[in-house]
């Protein structure tokens, strides 16, 4: 019996996502044997420092990817928003399955919606992207860094004097906790991270057998959206350390992409959007439009504001 080894982070959400992929692989290929290779990443080990202060997107990917490079696993399941645009040499995204809800979600202790939270309310989130956009709408709120796995963050809502927290709706859905959501934040209020709600299944480029096994899991609409959003991310050279966002949806003529760059304090938020048949061309149009509005300056300001960054002269 053929066995496929699947590398995954050890968090409850990561394992839920991994088993979701494994179930679909097993359904597509009866008789295939699958086993999980659990990995602890640097991002999982460092929980007392904001993500923006300790590095970029590779925090949750590099050790998992190393399992593929070292031959200890055949595929790896990632949250695509954690995956750098440049994979290690010899690696490819073998499939992007159907997308879960890409929006952010607010969970409040009192059941109040975002617009109803009282001035000074404490809102927990680990994302500069979320803070910048939500500050632009509600500068009177206090935003508190919030790290940990999804269950840890939900627990901290009750134990750390927070009035609300903001999480990706996709993770809550995958864990079966959609009933905890007070309000979905629409994309015109809080544009999602590039890749949010998408899974990326990574494998070795030279492994033709594994790539063929993954093909039934690939969703054409999700793949188009992923191409557009990841192209925009690469063009803006962004990561966890800067407030930027992007969301693509498939339309009749191809893909429609909205991009955003903001100042960390939310006082400046610029958006651009474009549509077209080719995702990479659309991403370039959006990136160029953002740059014409001053995106490079905002990205430089965000980079300079990071701890340890050189002084801006």
Write out the catalytic residue numbers.
82
Residue 71 near residue 39, CB atoms below 8 Å: no
Beta-bridge partners for 270: 261
Read off φ and ψ for residue 254, nearest 5 degrees.
140, -105
Structure tokens at 287: 């990136």
Q: Which residues contact 117 (CB under 8 A, 6 or more apart)?
A: 108, 123, 138, 141, 163, 164
Tell which residue, 245, 287, 217, has the closest CA to residue 4: 217
Structure tokens at 149: 């796995």
Structure tokens at 244: 């930027």
Structure tokens at 297: 């300056």
| Alpha carbon distances (Å) from 166 to 144, 178, 223, 233, 298 | 11, 13, 26, 22, 24
Angle at 142 between CA 52 and CA 171, to 5 degrees: 55
Spatial distance between the Cα atoms of 20 and 14, rounded to a whole number of angstroms = 10
Angle at 126 between CA 6 and CA 97, to 5 degrees: 35
The burial class, CB within 10 Å (0-12 / 13-18 / 19+), for 295 is buried
Residue 148 near residue 165, CB atoms below 8 Å: no
Spatial distance between the Cα atoms of 66 and 196, rounded to a whole number of angstroms = 23
Residue 116 near residue 19, CB atoms below 8 Å: no
Tell which residue, 35, 33, 32, has the closest CA to residue 18: 35
């Amino acid at each position: 019996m053929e066995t496929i080894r699947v590398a995954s982070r050890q968090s409850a959400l990561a394992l839920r996502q991994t088993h979701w992929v494994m179930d679909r692989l097993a359904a597509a290929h009866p008789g295939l044997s699958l086993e999980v290779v659990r990995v602890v990443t640097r991002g999982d080990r460092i929980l007392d420092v904001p993500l923006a202060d300790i590095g970029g997107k590779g925090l949750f990917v590099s050790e998992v990817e190393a399992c593929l490079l070292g031959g200890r696993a055949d595929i790896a399941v990632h949250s695509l928003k954690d995956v750098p645009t440049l994979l290690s040499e010899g690696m490819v995204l073998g499939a992007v399955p159907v997308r879960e809800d890409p929006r952010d979600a607010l969970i409040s202790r009192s059941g109040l919606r975002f617009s109803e939270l009282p001035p000074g309310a404490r809102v927990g989130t680990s994302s500069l992207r979320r803070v910048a956009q939500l500050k632009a709408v509600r500068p009177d709120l206090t935003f508190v860094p919030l790290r940990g796995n999804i269950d840890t963050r939900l627990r901290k809502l009750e134990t750390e004097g927070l009035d609300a927290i903001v999480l990706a709706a996709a993770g809550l859905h995958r864990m079966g906790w959609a009933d905890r959501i007070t309000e979905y934040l629409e994309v015109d209020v809080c544009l999602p991270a590039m890749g949010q709600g998408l899974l990326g299944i990574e494998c070795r480029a030279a492994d033709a057998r594994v790539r063929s096994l993954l093909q039934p899991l690939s969703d054409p609409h999700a793949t188009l959206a992923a191409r557009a959003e990841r192209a925009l991310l690469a063009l803006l050279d962004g990561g966890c350390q800067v407030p930027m966002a992007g969301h693509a949806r498939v339309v009749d003529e191809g893909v429609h992409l909205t991009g955003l760059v903001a100042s960390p304090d939310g006082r400046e938020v610029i958006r651009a959007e474009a549509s077209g048949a080719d995702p990479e061309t659309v991403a370039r149009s959006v990136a160029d439009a953002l740059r014409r509005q001053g995106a490079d300056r905002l990205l430089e300001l965000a980079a300079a504001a990071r701890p340890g960054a050189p002084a801006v002269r």
